[in-house]
Chains A and B, each alone.
Chain A
Amino acid sequence: MAEPAKTPTAFEPRIVAFLCHWCTYTGADLAGTTRQQYPPNVRVVHLMCSGAIDVVYVLKALMDGADGVLIGGCHPGDCHYQSGNFKARRRVAILKNILAQLGLSADRVWLRWISASEGRLFAETVREVTEAVRAMGPSEFKTQWDA
């Protein structure tokens, strides 16, 4: 069952996932119960709606130790609060636009629509995010302490 032991110096990215209650969180749960394999790097924050994710939380996570942030919401049309996902998308777009303009790693922030039935997609997404962030290396906010 156990994966091969990692050497102590190997970089294991820390991913914080903000997941909406109705879709992605339930999709993550389905990934678990249907035994989808995905890397253990993700730490989940449960929220009622992707529209309730304040950018300050995302920035805070990135600055205090996360190497990547995944935001998961319902597919367009499926938001339980009508339009939280669309609002989240604008907010994330602004955040990433700002980070990118400042030459910061905007690609450490991921927004994905994953429904309650897409356990496999959740697992795939976590794999994709983890590998992409692993390739980027540790967050510059971690390596440069005065940031």
Chain B
Amino acid sequence: MKTGALQTNGDPLAAAGALIRGLLEAGVVDEVLVPAQTPSGAVSLALFADPARMDGVNPWAPVMPVQGARAVKDLAFTDPGRRVAAVLRPCEARAVVELIKLQQVQPENLTFVTVDCPGTCETAAFHASGRDPAETAAALVRGMKDGAPAPEGGLELRTACTVCEHPAAAWGDLRIHAFGADADAALGLEAEDGLAEALAGAGLAAFDAPAPGGRDAVVERVVADRTRARDALIASFRDEAGGLEGLRKAFATCIRCYNCMENCPICYCKLCIFKSPTFDHPGDLYARWAGRKGAQPMPAETTLFHLTRLNHMSTSCVGCGLCDTACPMGLPVATLFRSVAQGVQTMLDYAPGRDLDDPIPLTVFREDELQEESGARD
């Protein structure tokens, strides 16, 4: 990796936009996937083929309506055969790492650009506020010099973002660093050697100067704050949702729309088992259950659905929180999943998205682990 700097000349968004557009212009890639303000004014992920369309590119858009990893999967479930750059936030990048391990993304022709992330707001709330995405984003990026900024105008970050302890770009071929940087002067860059050479050759960035300093300390402080917030959230959630009683209350209004699953970057199944013929029961079975317990909620197996989904994806859950955004009933899905995933990942000493070489936990085992599970004492 080579480090470098991106001069911003007082406009970090424009500078980052130019760099990203430059990937396309210089022929480093054939298309670029990046959040951008569309002509209608909304923020969306878009795949750009024509640099001329890239005016609204905004890698720090203050909302994340869809998980970029899902878009990357759509593009590269089979090798697209074209060079594509994907600009991702850390949670999206970590989900992509998991999806690469799960063969859902073929990365050979992909270039990953990741950015330090200040967090995002709930999409609906942001749009309702009428604020300008670019202005909000620029303010956030400037605020990252000293830590994790709060959005202007009384907006709040999504719950998942307030407890995200992975805000720094830590993976990817090109990483744009904003934490600790004076965004009006320069942003930090880190790039794979070959890519750095191409970018420098095209005059898009300089890799001979040292990166702006001070980032590590800021990241460390943000991570520490977020980790504390995370632990507090998990603790309070456990108090509230602990036990079946709490869980039932928390999920009493679940309408089984499956939106949480549909928007989860880790739920990659082509067809969920709960929508498959396995759970398409003969009618008399419901009657048997009702007979056994006296009553049977319909649709049935809602708790089973959530518990099974937890079992399937909690090892790889990156905590992006899009399940919260997707839930029409406003249930704390992300908090539940994040909370449980934390425990599972700690037990297995697994950090999703950290490293492509960390195997998916259920594909490996150690003979001497978890012996207490089978009744061993001490």
Contacts and interface: CB of A to CB of B under 8 A. Distances in A.
Interface in A80-129: 83, 86-87, 89-99, 101-104, 110-113
Given A101-B343, A103-B246, A55 B308 contact: yes
B303 A147 contact: yes
B241 interface: yes
Contact of B308 (A59, A112, A142, A145): A59
Contact of A111 (B248, B295, B374): B374
Q: Is the interface of A mostly helix, strand, loop or mixed?
A: helix
Interface in A36-50: none
B331 interface: no
A119 B340 CA distance: 37
A76 B242 contact: no
A145 B295 contact: yes
B238 A65 contact: no
B365 A142 contact: no
A63 interface: yes
Given A60-B304, A87-B365, A89-B373, A94 B311 contact: yes
A77 B296 CA distance: 44
Q: Is the interface of B mostly helix, strand, loop or mixed?
A: helix
Contact of A94 (B238, B293, B315): B315
A64 interface: yes
Interface residues on B, range: 35 or more
A65 B339 CA distance: 28
Interface in B361-378: 361-362, 365-367, 369-370, 373-375
A135 B184 CA distance: 66
Given A56-B273, A112-B374, A144-B248, A97 B343 contact: yes
A102 B237 CA distance: 10
A140 interface: yes
B244 A90 contact: no
B365 A64 contact: no
Nearest to B311: A55
B367 to A, nearest CB: 6
A96 B304 contact: no
A3 B374 CA distance: 31
Contacts of B374: 73, 89, 111-113
B275 interface: no
Contact of A63 (B243, B304, B366): B304
A146 B348 CA distance: 32
Contacts of B375: 110-113
Most buried by A among B311, B362, B375: B311
Nearest to A90: B365
B310 interface: yes
B295 A146 contact: yes
29 contacts: A56-B304, A59-B307, A63-B301, A63-B304, A64-B292, A83-B365, A86-B367, A89-B370, A89-B373, A90-B362, A93-B348, A94-B348, A97-B343, A97-B347, A98-B314, A101-B238, A102-B247, A103-B238, A103-B243, A104-B244, A111-B375, A112-B375, A145-B293, A145-B294, A145-B296, A146-B252, A147-B244, A147-B248, A147-B303
Interface of A: 55-56, 59-60, 63-65, 73, 76, 83, 86-87, 89-99, 101-104, 110-113, 140-142, 144-147
Interface of B: 238, 241-248, 252, 273, 289, 292-297, 301, 303-304, 307-308, 310-311, 314-315, 339-340, 343-344, 347-348, 361-362, 365-367, 369-370, 373-375
